[in-house]
Each structure stands twice: as structure tokens, then as C-alpha cells.
Amino acid sequence: MIYKIISIKDNPHIKEEAARWFSSKWSVDFEFYDMVRNDDNSMSRMYVYR
């Protein structure tokens, strides 16, 4: 299977999905990632793969 690394900043439609995934994966409150996802400077350093 081939995955692509996707910048969350360049794909704002996946911000909430990514915040929920990071929250569940790393046991950090969703509210923290929800706050971060609205900060473009923080999201510019976050990536997911699909």
C-alpha cells in the first residue's frame, strides 16, 4: 500500500479529523488539538498520511 504525507495546513478540511486522531493516539485532550487546529502556525508543522 502506498501512502501520501499530507500537510494539514494545506488541507484544512481534515483539521478536525486529524485533531481527533492525534487526541486518541497520544491520549491528549481533544480540546488541546481543537485549539491547535485553529492556529495556522501550529498546524503548519502537522502532517498525516493516507
- Of the candidates 14, 7, 3, which has an alpha carbon nearest to the alpha carbon of residue 46? 7
More confident residue, 25 or 43: 25
Regarding pTM above 0.85, the answer is no
- Of the candidates 38, 42, 41, which has an alpha carbon nearest to the alpha carbon of residue 15? 38
Per-residue model confidence (pLDDT) at position 41: 66
Per-residue model confidence (pLDDT) at position 42: 62
Per-residue model confidence (pLDDT) at position 2: 92
List the single range of 13-17, 20-24, 37-41 with lowest mean pLDDT: 37-41
* Extents of the domains making up the chain: 5-49
pLDDT band at 4 (very low <50, low <70, confident <90, very high): very high
Separation of alpha carbons 5 and 50, rounded Å:
7
